Structure 1
Amino acid sequence: MNAHPDLPDVLVHFTGRPRRKNEKPPIPDFAHGSAEDRLVSILHGGALRGNKTHWAEDRPVACFSEITQEARRIMLRDGVRRGPYPPWGLMLDRTKLIEIGARPALYVSRLEYESMKNEMSARTYSRCVVYDPRPFYGQPTDWLFEREWRLVFGAKGTPELDLAQEGLVTGVITGRPGWTPPPRRRVLEDSTWAEPAPSGPGSGVAKIGRTTMTTRVVHTQSAGPAHGLRRLYWDGEDLVDDGEFDIEEQQMRDGADFRGEHP
């Protein structure tokens, strides 16, 4: 436990952020779907995947917010500039993230950012975020309220943070009470076969043609890695303890295939 009230024991990874109308993510292949969709993908995969994004174009990163309980409430209820944050995300243990290698972002001016690229390693440079609320040129840039931390991945290998590490995930933020990541369904086999059509009545001559049949096999899989994780429901004013995910019960109810290691 941290003694200082401004140093929370958990960091938050929001799976969505408020954006301007028609605003697209800075990197085309990043942040597909809604915040809920992205949380479902994370819980099914059991991993948080890093991406190259704005201010981190050299190395993939995973981002977190070091925000207090009160600041978290304000971001979810009121927002700061563009409205409230979607109530979907992960809460992760601060100490565990430090052990893994996460560190606070380095807030620098735009001029500093542009001059630093050739002065430091790609790993360190990928932790830099432009903070320029009153720039000499360009648009103001101020995301200081997020108190961002970053986990910077290497240039090689899969940029994923394994969420199955004991004690890493302390809670899952959801936008609806009793929410559980829905099973995924995919077609494993979709085959078509045909047989000759029956002979024409009374003609004694077989008609030319075939009867076609289609067989489809659909596989249903539950988000096994989410089993047992603590769920926190945003009720519009605060995060309310909402029990734990019981993926095994969901699997029995829906007949889905249970997969994944339990965090």
Structure 2
Amino acid sequence: MNRSFLILPILVLTPLVAANSAPTVTPKPKVVAPAVKAPAAIKPKVVAPPATNAKVPQVKPPRIKPPAGMDDHDHDHGATGTDPNKPIDPVGDSLDFLWKQSDVAFHEGDYPTAVKIHRAIVTLDPTDTESFGVGAWLLWSMEKKSEARDFIDQGLASNPNDAEMWNVAAQQYDLEKSFADAKTAYLKSVELSKGKAPELLRRRLAHSAEHAGDLALSEQTWTDLVREFPASDVDKNNLARVKNLRNKPVE
């Protein structure tokens, strides 16, 4: 069989197949940068100078008024504004300082230091009855009861005719539950008050008398208070209570 007629078509078709099998390449689009417009030139703004005869307003800074009692001279030099004519009181200033220090020690729980400060206070001013009372209370709180009583005795020796000192002593005795001593001290305080004893002091006397077993004095004190302060329910209630105690049969 003659195969030459078959070879010719194969040779003719081979280039066509090769051409059809080649990959197709897609051309990339050409990127064109946008045109940038140059900015317009900025013209400087020309401000005309003020006329030579124009008045320029002057702004005056506000004046800071110094605190009352302080003039400008004091304010400029940082003075405290104290009266320059006031005499210096070294003892009074020292007492104020010591009281402040005692408060600091008390709030810090440093009772020993506070007691030392109060001893210094009464050394400078033996008439400071409050310091005697605070110092005694601190000593009692530290379980130094004999020292507390000694401190009160020192205050009474320095202020034997002071109603407030006897009141302070009586409150300390109440704290110690020495009610007989408290009753005596309250009575002394009321006596030294010369008819001007405050209601609270007399209430304390009535309570201490009751605790000391002197119900007659307690009832009489409450009776006097009710007469002078008729609107006080506290006095009325205590009077009724003490009367009931006195009328209660002894078992």
Shorter-chain TM-score category?
A: under 0.3
**Which gives a bigger RCO, structure 1 or 2 (Cα 8 Å, sep 6+)?**
1
Between Structure 1 and Structure 2, the one with more helix by share is 2
Structure having the higher Rg: 2
TM-score, with structure 1 as normaliser = 0.21
Q: Output the TM-score relative to the length of structure 2.
A: 0.22
